[in-house]
Amino acid sequence: MQLDYNNKDLIFSDIPEDSVKWSAPSNIALVKYWGKFPIQIPANPSISFTLSSSKTETEMSFAPKKGNKSQIDFYLEKELNLKFGEKIGAFFEQIAPIFPFLAQLDFEIYSHNTFPHSAGIASSASGMAALALCICEIENKYFNSFSNEEEFYKKASYVARIGSGSACRSLYGGLVNWGNSVAVEGSSDEFGTMLKTPIHPDFYTYQDKILIVDAGQKKVSSRVGHGLMNTNPFAQQRFQQARENMQIIVKAMQENDQATFIKTVESEALTLHAMMMCSDPYFLLMKPRTLEIIEKLFNFREKTGLDVCFTLDAGPNIHLLYPKRIENEVNEFIEKEVKANWPEFYAIQDEVGKGPMKMHTETKKVVNS
Give the footprint of ligand PMV on this chain (CB under 6 A).
29, 32-34, 46, 122, 124, 164-166, 222, 272, 313-314
Q: Closest approach of Cβ 334 to ligand PMV, in Å?
A: 23
In Å, how far are 39, 56, 216, 241 from 33, measured between CA atoms? 14, 21, 22, 12
Find all residues with CB under 8 Å of 288, minimum gap 6, and list them: none
Provide the 3-class DSSP secondary structure of residue 97: coil
Q: With respect to ligand PMV, which residue has the nearer C-beta, 33 or 101?
A: 33
Q: Closest approach of Cβ 32 to ligand PMV, in Å?
A: 4
Q: Closest approach of Cβ 271 to ligand PMV, in Å?
A: 11
Q: Closest approach of Cβ 16 to ligand PMV, in Å?
A: 36
Q: With respect to ligand PMV, which residue has the nearer C-beta, 46 or 279?
A: 46
* Distance between CA atoms of residues 200 and 183, nearest Å: 16
Q: Closest approach of Cβ 27 to ligand PMV, in Å?
A: 7
Provide the 3-class DSSP secondary structure of residue 37: strand
Q: With respect to ligand PMV, which residue has the nearer C-beta, 23 or 177?
A: 177
Find all residues with CB under 8 Å of 352, minimum gap 6, and list them: 49, 50, 51, 52, 173, 174, 175, 203, 204, 205, 206, 208
CA-based nearest residue to 235, from 197, 273, 275: 275
Q: With respect to ligand PMV, which residue has the nearer C-beta, 220 or 306?
A: 220
Q: Judge whether 44 and 35 are in contact, CB under 8 Å.
A: yes
Q: With respect to ligand PMV, which residue has the nearer C-beta, 126 or 164?
A: 164
Q: Judge whether 238 and 32 are in contact, CB under 8 Å.
A: no
Q: Closest approach of Cβ 67 to ligand PMV, in Å?
A: 33
Would you say how long the chain is, in residues?
A: 369
Q: Euclidean distance between the first and final Cα of the chain, in Å?
A: 24
Find all residues with CB under 8 Å of 122, minimum gap 6, and list them: 26, 218, 222, 313
Q: With respect to ligand PMV, which residue has the nearer C-beta, 140 or 164?
A: 164
Q: With respect to ligand PMV, which residue has the nearer C-beta, 45 or 63?
A: 45
